[in-house]
Amino acid sequence: MIIVMQAEADQDQIQDVEAQLSRMGFTPHRIKGVLRTVIGAVGDPKIVYPTSLERLPGVDKVLPVTAPYQLVSRQVKPDDSLIRVGDTVIGGEALVVMAGPCAVESWDHLITVARQVKLSGASILRGGAFKPRTSPYSFQGLEHEGLKLLARAREETGLTIVTEVLTPQEVELVARYADIIQIGARNMQNFSLLREVGRCGKPVLLKRGLASTVEEWLMAAEYILAEKNYQVILCERGIRTFENSTRSTLDISSVPQIKQLSHLPVIVDPSHAGGSWRLVLPLSLAAIASGADGLMVEVHHKPAEAFCDGGQSLTPENFASMMSAAARVAAAVGRSLPVVC
């Protein structure tokens, strides 16, 4: 890190900072500038102490030089990580599409949607059994019963299952049914939950928090890898900005950013990002063009009657058209998307 001294800092203050850096295990390197002195601190990049140093007299600010993540970094592992789930590989040449309803509502509903998304080329079925809802009065999911329906849908269709877990205690239960455990945007910095899914042995889909930088997102993934679970799939789903004509603002730049910084696969959720079914097609195509390894899309066969997120759900027909268009863009960027029908 770099310690920037105030213009008026005196020799004693500079020496005190250098002494403190030495005590912390860093080697200080002083550079006297025209207006002020800066001190480069060389040492273990995992030590993160910066703000405390700002309380030493004469210090103006501390600038970190090295990103604080290690295991998720492409520098540590230059080749792409491939996550295997059943017959599906995430992060390879073939794109992966996870599709299904926002929430598991009933068996009939689930199996109808599952069959239809499979027909159009989805290989993973999404569906919430535990739902994080802004209002305590909204539908909160079928919980354990929902997990069972998902497992039954897997048996009938061969689709693998991704579903969200909300608390550390429920990780074991959800992991018993799911093939991929989803950490939702609101829980991206629920560190106890991250550690728990880090120990569950199943691949983890880690959604980006609404107010999280790319660096914080990678640090959240680092929590999971630090527990020796290297099967993490990142999912961009939009960030919160002043623009309120969309539910969130899809930060499409995060896809190539992640690809440069990390070896982990990254997919995009155009449904939550845009918040409107009308935006799912263009955002899906943009995601693939920008280098995403796949998509996660909400599909409902009667969206106007959906228990949640109906406004952003595709019908199976919409989904089929989207998949055809997506396959063409995938081919244009050297990827493939198996479209069955």
Q: Does 94 bind a copy of itself (CB under 8 A)?
A: no
Looking at the Cβ atoms of 94 and 226, the one nearer to a copy of itself is 226
Interaction between residue 291 and a copy of itself (CB under 8 A): yes
Interface with a copy of itself in residues 257-276 (CB under 8 A): 257, 260, 273-276
Q: Which of 158, 201, 256, 321 binds a copy of itself (CB under 8 A)?
A: 256
Please tell me whether residue 336 binds a copy of itself under the rule CB under 8 A: no
**Residue 92 makes contact with a copy of itself by CB under 8 A:** no
Block residue for tokens 């992640």: 258
Q: Which amino acid is at 326?
A: A
- The answer to whether residues 82 and 90 touch, using CB atoms and an 8 Å cutoff, is yes
Sheet holding 37-42, edge to edge: 27-32, 37-42, 2-5, 59-63
Residue 327 near residue 339 (C-beta atoms within 8 A): yes
When the beta carbons of 176 and 228 are compared against a copy of itself, the nearer one is 228
Residue 168 makes contact with a copy of itself by CB under 8 A = yes
Pick one of 214, 297, 337, 339: the residue that binds a copy of itself (CB under 8 A).
Answer: 214
Judged by CB under 8 A, which of 93, 158, 282, 321 binds a copy of itself? Answer: 282
Smallest gap, in angstroms, from Cβ of residue 103 to a copy of itself?
12
Q: Which two tokens stand for residue 41?
A: 């601190």
Among residues 103, 250, 267, 323, which is the contact residue for a copy of itself, using CB under 8 A?
Answer: 250
Min separation Cβ 158 and a copy of itself, Å: 29
Distance CA 58, CA 70 (A): 32
Q: Does 51 bind a copy of itself (CB under 8 A)?
A: yes
Burial of 93 (0-12, 13-18, 19+ CB in 10 A): exposed
Least separation, in Å, of the C-beta of 28 and a copy of itself? Answer: 10
Binding a copy of itself by CB under 8 A: which of 81, 120, 123, 290?
Answer: 290
Q: Quick one: 112 or 167, whose CB is closer to a copy of itself?
A: 167
Q: Which stretch binds a copy of itself (CB under 8 A): 93-101, 106-114, 175-183, 327-335?
A: 327-335
Question: Which residue in the block uniquely carries the two structure tokens 């295990």?
Answer: 25
Give the one residue of 143, 316, 329, 338 binding a copy of itself; rule: CB under 8 A: 329
Q: Give, to the nearest 10 degrees, the angle between helix 144-157 and helix 107-119.
A: 40
Of 19, 42, 82, 340, which lies in the binding site for a copy of itself, with binding defined by CB under 8 A?
42
Tell how strand 37-42 and strand 2-5 pair up.
Answer: antiparallel
Gap between the Cα atoms of 176 and 318, Å rounded: 32
The amino acid at residue 336 is S
Residue placing its CB nearer to a copy of itself in the complex, 30 or 152:
30
- For a copy of itself, which residue of 11, 46, 79, 155 counts as binding (CB under 8 A)? 46
List of residues 6+ apart from 122 with CB closer than 8 A:
97, 98, 99, 100, 159, 297, 319, 323
Is residue 287 a contact partner of residue 295, using CB atoms and an 8 Å limit?
yes
Query: Interaction with a copy of itself in 174-203: which residues (CB under 8 A)?
Result: 186-187, 189-193, 195
Residue found under tokens 């520098």: 75
- Report if residue 79 touches a copy of itself, rule: CB under 8 A: no
Contact 235, 207 (CB under 8 A): yes
Q: List beta partners, residue 94.
A: 336
Pick out residues in 100-159 that bind a copy of itself (CB under 8 A).
132-138
